[in-house]
Amino acid sequence: MAVELGVPVHDPQRLVACHEALARTEQNARDKDCGPLVENGYAFHSPIVALAGHRRLSEMYRPVQQQVLLCMSRKLSTRERFHENLMEHAARYRHLLELIEAGEPPAVLAELAVLAVHGERSFAEH
């Protein structure tokens, strides 16, 4: 729903928080610092939800995402061990942001589906 309501982005200011979180995520990846990388993942995804400009949607997302943070930290260490390094992980975030900036909701939704399957595979295979 957030993508359908928020993409294409009409106010570039709404993307500033995404860009800032992505920059921190990429730095965390270069530093191989997983803890802040997970926190910055949340800081990246929350403004994506906020692109919709739908206050109730953002409010509903916060507590769910807080619960997901624990799973993300486990998933990240599994991914790093078996599937991808932290730079590749950060590159997927960059790719998602590029798709959002391109303004094509179907492409963004398709990439989010790929990311979801990728995350599930981290748990299912290991």
Tokens (6 digits) for 21: 């979180």
Give the domains, in start order, of the chain with CATH numbers: 2-125 (1.20.120.530)
pTM of the predicted protein model: 0.84
R_g (Cα) of the chain, nearest Å: 14
Q: Are 57 and 49 in contact (CB under 8 A)?
A: yes
**pLDDT at 69 (0 to 100):** 73
Average pLDDT (48-53) is 94
Please give the mean pLDDT across all residues of the chain: 86
Q: Which among 40, 9, 12, 46 has a CA at the least distance from the CA of 24?
A: 40
**pLDDT at 89 (0 to 100):** 87
What pLDDT digit, counting tens, does each position of 14-37 carry?
999 999 999 999 999 999 988 898
